[in-house]
Amino acid sequence: MDTTTNLRPFPAINYSNNKVALNDGAAQWTYTELRQRIDRFASGLLGKQTDLKEERIAFFMPASVDYATTLLGIWRAGGIAVPLNIAAAMPEIEYALSCAKVTRIVVGISSPAESLTPLYSLCRGLGITVVNVSELLSDKILVMPELNIGRRAMMLFTSGTTNKPKGVVTTHNNIRAQITTLLEAWNWQENDSIPLFLPLHHIHGIINVLCCALWIGARVTLFPRFDMGQILTGVEDRDYNVFMAVPTIYVKIIGELEKLPEPRRKRICAGFKDMRLNISGSAACPVKLYNQWKELTGQTLLERYGMTEIGMGISNPYLGERRAGSVGVPLPGVEVALFDDAGNIIEGDDSPGEIRVRGENVFLEYWDNVQATEDSFIDGWFCTGDVALRESGYYRIMGRSSVDIIKSGGYKLSALEIEGTLLTHDSVAECAVIGVEDETWGEAVTAFVVLKPEHSLEHAALKKWCETRMSPYKIPKHLRVLESLPRNAMGKVMKPELKKL
Ligand code: MCA
Ligand code: AMP
């Protein structure tokens, strides 16, 4: 195998490919134009250096040509790309920047204006330079460094069973493996066309949609957010042949279709039917949703399972049976096994165990956290914390080993992180956060609090208070005030008891 990388693995991004790569509704860029932009940007980033040597460069922008330029430009120049959550509250951004020891932040023309002022003031305080993509588009194209494929390429923040998110570091080789397995498994084609409306600080949007499409030479239509009206118009107009979303989005689309006049609903459903692939992932797709989608559009959803640390691991087949309520079989090049409580591999079907994963797709490390990295691997297997069983070879996800992880609308949230913030509220003496089953969100963040004497707290006031302290999707959807929290003999809150409430 070639052990150096420098955008060569993205074969479609070259100077003689005049196909459209990106389109944002107002303008479009061919692969040649994108390549020129990336090279100019990477040259601007390098300045007088010959290699960014894993400098952590963060960027704060929605899906846009600037986003693609920045991500690929950082990779080209040898930096580590740190895409930030554009919906995050400033304390969350501050944590990410400090944890990753970011030195520069890139913003784009379409970076959300209302959050740029607080971002600039935060960065001034932290001594981090903020630059606009346009300032880095150098006229002089420099020679790019030759990078070993084992070099660190990206850091994404993921919530877990600690109160602070961890930086998941992947190498160029991990990213290559995560992309190429999907190109093969899902039969990606140069003439594919896909809308990209997912947030771009997670694997789903970055790898599964953007990078797979750009690697193969397909066309991506960019949306700064999930814009129901525009996206459905594109489907109606047959603009796309591949669609990837989280279950919440399919639920929301079904809700919208039900409100539309029949002729338009029929045209949109026919648009979905004519696509070659509709994929659901990031959270469990309920069988009811799978059936509703099939009934409405004629499409059999392809469900797959992934994680920030591994990219995608398990998928229903492109050809062959796609089973409702199941995530399918291991992807090419990904080793998956189930382990029992004693740490033995479960060979047969029908016994639940923890999913563990091995392969080139698996991340390198948690940034600056040797202990957490060591703790998450056993004998070379990455321990996902998800529990599954196999039924005639197909994996069915049964749940998670921790009650402290919540999946809401595809986002993985840490109950402990939300509790940590709520505990800083003047009225809150104790609190516990859980995910409660919800038809739209999968799980809805629910906070149980015990108030300090003589204090009161309304849900609306709490939501307002949370706005500057956490991303909107972490804000509790429900609040219950209790006299005391149910605790066991060790004093630990019994979250299953709260679920019963
Ligand atoms: C928005 N809201 C949410 C969420 N999103 N509440 C809970 N959970 C959410 N996920 C709230 C807002 O705060 C707001 O509340 C109200 O819903 C409407 O907000 P709006 O922005 O209009 O909602 P939306 O645009 O319809 O967003 C829903 C969404 C979005 C499109 C489903 O959440 C989304 O893009 N989710 C995908 C996340 C994702 O890509 N995850 C992949 C990570 P209020 O009305 O109170 O103000 S997982 C991953 O990468 C792994 C590897 C994998 O397997 O894929
Ligand atoms: P994240 O850390 O944001 O990458 O989220 C990864 C987690 O999402 C996994 O560990 C699973 O718990 C969950 N997940 C992803 N895909 C599925 C799926 N198809 N069914 C059930 N859970 C899923």
| pLDDT tens figures, 341-376 | 999 999 988 899 999 999 999 999 999 999 999 999
CB 306 near ligand 1, within 6 Å: yes
Is the Cβ–Cβ distance between 100 and 56 less than 8 Å?
A: yes
How do residues 137-189 score in pLDDT, each as one tens digit? 999 999 999 999 999 999 999 987 777 999 999 999 999 999 999 999 999 99
Pocket lining: 307 vs ligand 1, CB cutoff 6 Å: yes
Residue range(s) in the chain whose domain bears CATH number 3.40.50.12780? 203-400
Average the pLDDT over each of 113-117, 335-339, 385-389, 405-409 and give the range with the smallest value. Answer: 113-117
Report in angstroms the alpha-carbon separations of 490 from 415, 430, 432, 495.
Answer: 20, 16, 16, 14
Q: CATH 3.30.300.30: which residues of the chain?
A: 405-500
Residue 282 Cα to ligand 2 middle (Å): 5
Give bridge partners of residue 394 from the DSSP assignment. 391
User: Is the confidence at residue 6, as pLDDT, over 70?
Assistant: no
pLDDT at 3: 65
| CATH 3.40.50.980 location in the chain | 31-147
Q: Is 308 in the pocket of ligand 1 (CB under 6 A)?
A: yes
Q: Let me know: does 334 contact 357? Beta carbons within 8 Å.
A: yes
Does residue 435 line the site of ligand 1, with CB under 6 A? no
* Ligand 2 centroid to residue 266 C-alpha, Å: 32
Q: Whose CA is nearest to atom 47 of ligand 1?
A: 472
Please tell me the distance between residue 471's alpha carbon and the centre of ligand 2 in angstroms. 19
Q: How far is the CA of 194 from the centre of ligand 1 (A)?
A: 19
Interatomic CA distance for residues 132 and 67, integer angstroms: 11
Q: Which ligand is nearest to the CA of 253?
A: 1
Output the pLDDT for position 5.
Answer: 66
The segment with the largest mean pLDDT, out of 7-11, 33-37, 402-406, is: 33-37
The confidence score (pLDDT) of residue 109 equals 84
Distance of CA 79 to the CA centre of its chain: 20
Q: For ligand 2, pick from 200, 397, 414 the residue to mutate: most ligand atoms within 8 Å of CB.
A: 397
Task: Look at residue 418 and give its three-state secondary structure.
Answer: helix
Per-residue three-class SS string for 297-345? HCCCCEEEEEECCCEEEEECCCCCCCCCCCCEEECCCCEEEEECCCCCE
Pairing of strands 4-5, 147-148: antiparallel
What CATH number belongs to 31-147? Answer: 3.40.50.980
Q: Whose CA is nearest to atom 1 of ligand 1?
A: 473
Instruction: With beta carbons less than 8 A apart as the criterion, state whether 219 and 18 touch.
Output: no
Mean of pLDDT over the chain: 96
By most ligand atoms within 8 Å of CB, the mutation choice from 207, 289, 386, 406 for ligand 2 is 386
Centroid of ligand 1 to alpha carbon of 290 (angstroms)? 20
Q: Could you give the 3-state DSSP secondary structure of residue 405? A: strand
Q: Closest Cα partner for 134 from 220, 211, 69? A: 69
CB-ligand 1 contact for 384 (6 Å cutoff): no
CA of 474, closest atom in ligand 1: 7
Directed axis angle between helix 90-100 and helix 113-126, to 10°? 40
Is 90 exceeded by the pLDDT of residue 267? yes
Residues with CB under 6 A from ligand 2: 158, 202, 281-284, 303, 305-308, 327, 384, 386, 397, 400, 407, 412
- Percentage of the chain with pLDDT > 70? 98
Cα separation of 235 and 296, whole Å?
14
Any atom of ligand 1 within 6 Å of the Cβ of 226:
yes
Expressed in angstroms and rounded, the spacing between residue 461 Cα and the centre of ligand 1 is 22
* Mean pLDDT along residues 97-118: 92
Query: How far is 119 from 133, CA to CA, in rounded Å?
Result: 16
Mapping DSSP to helix (H, G, I), strand (E, B) and coil, where does residue 89 land?
coil
Beta bridge partners of 154: 81, 170
Distance (Å, rounded) from C-alpha 88 to C-alpha 438?
23
Count, residues in the chain = 501
- Residue-level pLDDT at 218: 98
CA atoms of 213 and 20, how far apart (whole Å): 11
Share of the chain residues as helix, strand and coil, in percent rounded to the nearest 5: 35, 30, 40
Report in angstroms the alpha-carbon separations of 478 from 273, 413, 493: 37, 15, 18
Tell me the DSSP string of 130-142.
Answer: EEEHHHH--SSPP
**CATH T-level topology, domain 203-400:** Rossmann fold (3.40.50)
Write the burial class of residue 306 (CB in 10 Å: 0-12 exposed, 13-18 middle, 19+ buried). buried
Nearest ligand to residue 284 Cα: 2
- The helix or strand, by DSSP H or E, that contains position 153, with its residue range, turns out to be strand 152-158
**Ligand 1 touching residue 272 (CB < 6 A):** no
Of all residues in the chain, the percent with pLDDT exceeding 90 is 92
Residues 6+ apart with CB under 8 A from 364: 152, 169, 170, 171, 174
Nearest CA to ligand 2 atom 8: 282
Ligand 1 within 6 A of CB of 441? yes
Give the confidence band of 338 by pLDDT, cuts at 50, 70, 90.
very high
Euclidean distance between CA atoms 354 and 346, whole angstroms: 9
CATH number of 405-500: 3.30.300.30
Average pLDDT of 382-394?
A: 97
398: DSSP letter: E
Distance 387 CA to ligand 2 centre (A): 11
Q: Relative to the alpha carbon of 306, which ligand is closest?
A: 1
Q: What was the pLDDT predicted at 9?
A: 73
Residue with the two structure tokens 């165990």: 353
Whether ligand 1 lies within 6 angstroms of the CB of 249 is answered as yes
Instruction: Say yes or no: CB of residue 411 within 6 Å of ligand 1.
Output: yes
Ligand 1 mutation pick, 243, 248, 436, max ligand atoms within 8 A of CB: 248
Asked whether residue 125 carries a pLDDT value surpassing 60, the answer given is yes
Q: Are 223 and 22 in contact (CB under 8 A)?
A: no
Mean pLDDT of the region 381-410: 95
Structure tokens belonging to residue 399: 């749940």
Q: Which helix (H) or strand (E) holds 353?
A: strand 353-358
Q: How far is it, in rounded angstroms, from Cα 237 to Cα 450?
A: 53
DSSP class per residue in 236-303: HTT--SEEEE-HHHHHHHHHHHHHS-HHHHHHHHHHHHTSSEEEE-SS---HHHHHHHHHHHS---EE
State the ligand closest to the CA atom of 210. Answer: 1
